[in-house]
């Protein structure tokens, strides 16, 4: 059948697919718009199956925050090439997925329903695979909210390969404008550093035990007495804990002060204790 340019334009606006794909879909569907959308979706599924085994070593991280600055969704989406990771369609998909995570949460994200008639998040990804011609994989998703007073800090590196969310809590209500810069600086610090936990006591005991085992083995190789070995191991363990716990790390923008000292100083200046409640970091 003959398909009008206006029909092609309408389907393209609704799906983002190429003009020729839209025209063919409408022809196959005898002009039925819903059937044409289903045709494009099935095409995406077919492409997705063919490309599912291809490696996805590139990608990007997207963040969408709520208007009050206290809740945000973050996603990590992988693709095959840097070319796709930098195109506008991929960026729009990242934003859509992060927004969905903000409203629907990260649990069972791919099964969550979109707006009426748009299917699920997985359908959205499959359609995007059909449009972009690359394997796409949802790697991670997270939603972080501030508990009580405070604000969120966020940071996405310019190459979109590192993303961080930080919940900065305050003991009393403080204007968000007074906390935003600090919260974003903390997110940038975490992006640039190896951070395993907020405080040393928060580090997984299994990680501590493994490090202790490694240090003990190294010290025994030196042939030193047992009592000296114990001191060496404890010293190295203390150093490790300080290096990977956020509060003990030298702040990247002011290495003369630790992150803990920075928060204490800012808290005194603002008249309220400040705490890092939680953070999340995604990285390729």
Mean per-residue pLDDT for 250-272?
97
**Burial readout 52-83 (b: 16 or more C-beta within 10 A, e: otherwise):** eeeebebbbbbbbbeeebbbbbbbbbbbbeee
Question: What is the CATH class of 54-145?
Answer: alpha beta
pLDDT of residue 105: 97
Nearest to 64 by CA among 107, 93, 85: 93
Report the side by side order of strands in the sheet with 137-145. Answer: 58-65, 71-79, 137-145
Q: How far is CA 130 from CA 21, 45, 211, in A?
A: 10, 7, 46
CATH number of the structural domain 204-244:
1.10.286
CATH 3.30.479.20 spans which residues of the chain?
Answer: 54-145
Nearest to 75 by CA among 166, 163, 194, 193: 163
The C-alpha atoms of residue 123 and residue 153 are separated, in whole angstroms, by: 31
Encoded tokens for 83: 């070319």
CATH 1.10.8.10 spans which residues of the chain?
Answer: 5-51
CATH 1.10.286 spans which residues of the chain?
Answer: 204-244
The C-alpha atoms of residue 56 and residue 48 are separated, in whole angstroms, by: 13
Mean per-residue pLDDT for 15-40?
79
46-50, 66-70, 189-193, 225-229: least confident range: 46-50
pLDDT of residue 254: 96
Q: Is 93 helix (H, G, I), strand (E, B) or coil?
A: helix
Q: How far is CA 127 from CA 40, 70, 162, in A?
A: 7, 32, 25
The CA dihedral of 102, 105, 109, 112, to the nearest 10 degrees, is -90
Report the chain's mean pLDDT, rounded to a whole number.
Answer: 90
The pTM of the full predicted model, rounded to 2 decimals, is: 0.80
Number of alpha helices (DSSP H) and beta strands (DSSP E) in the chain: 10, 8
CATH number of the structural domain 5-51:
1.10.8.10
Encoded tokens for 74: 């973050």
At residue 47, does pLDDT exceed 70? no
């Amino acid at each position: 059948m003959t398909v009008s340019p206006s029909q092609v334009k309408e389907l393209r606006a609704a799906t983002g697919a190429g003009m020729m794909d839209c025209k063919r879909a409408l022809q196959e569907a005898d002009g039925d718009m819903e059937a044409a959308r289903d045709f494009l979706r099935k095409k995406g599924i077919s492409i997705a199956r063919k490309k599912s085994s291809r490696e996805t070593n590139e990608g990007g991280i997207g963040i969408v925050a709520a208007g009050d600055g206290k809740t945000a969704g973050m996603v990590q989406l992988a693709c095959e090439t840097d070319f796709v990771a930098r195109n506008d369609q991929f960026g729009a998909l990242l934003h859509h997925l992060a927004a969905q995570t903000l409203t629907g949460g990260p649990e069972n994200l791919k099964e969550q329903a979109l707006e009426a008639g748009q299917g699920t998040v997985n359908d959205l990804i499959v359609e995007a695979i059909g449009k972009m011609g690359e394997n796409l994989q949802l790697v991670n998703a997270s939603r972080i909210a501030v508990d009580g007073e405070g604000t969120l800090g966020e940071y996405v590196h310019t190459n979109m390969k590192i993303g961080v969310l930080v919940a900065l809590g305050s003991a009393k209500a403080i204007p968000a404008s007074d906390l935003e810069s600090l919260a974003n600086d903390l997110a940038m610090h975490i992006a640039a550093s190896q951070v395993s936990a907020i405080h040393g006591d928060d580090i997984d005991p299994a990680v501590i035990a493994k490090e202790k085992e490694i240090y003990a083995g190294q010290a025994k190789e030196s042939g030193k007495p047992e009592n000296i070995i114990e001191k060496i191991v404890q010293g190295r363990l203390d150093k490790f804990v300080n290096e990977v716990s956020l509060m003990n790390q030298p702040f990247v923008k002011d290495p003369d002060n630790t992150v803990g000292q920075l928060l204490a100083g800012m808290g005194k200046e603002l008249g309220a204790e400040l705490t890092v409640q939680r953070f999340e970091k995604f990285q390729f």
